[in-house]
Amino acid sequence: MPSYRITASVGLLRPGTSAPDVLPEAVAAARALATVEAFDVGVVRGQARVTVRFEVDHDTAARRVGRAVLERLDDLAEIADGQLVRRYGNRWYPPRKPGHRD
């Protein structure tokens, strides 16, 4: 099953959001639709970046998961640089465009 990764930079938290809740909420959004493999919060160029890695059957389902995670993060904080990538071998690339046949 293909592995995907959604990342987003997280800025100011929305009122009522606690920093320790952001990552678990993003993971829960992914877990509702996919098998979550790993998750992390890191600091890239001085800004928090959430990463959720997951498995689904195809690119269309991965886009759905990615949107769900980004929408949940956007409910909690200002976000930027949302990016979905698919693992091919040991590298990560954007998923194929909708309608592409494998």
Q: What is the pLDDT of residue 88?
A: 93
The conformational region for residue 16 under phi > 0 = left, psi -120 to 50 = alpha, else beta, is left
Q: What is the pLDDT of residue 64?
A: 97
Tell me how far apart the alpha carbons of residues 42 and 44 are, in angstroms, rounded to a whole number: 6
Q: 10 near 74, Cβ under 8 Å?
A: no
Tell me how far apart the alpha carbons of residues 75 and 1 are, in angstroms, rounded to a whole number: 30
pLDDT band at 101 (very low <50, low <70, confident <90, very high): low
Q: 84 near 62, Cβ under 8 Å?
A: yes
pLDDT tens digits along 68-86: 999 999 999 999 999 999 9
Q: What is the pLDDT of residue 97?
A: 74
Q: Is this model's pTM higher than 0.85 or not?
A: yes
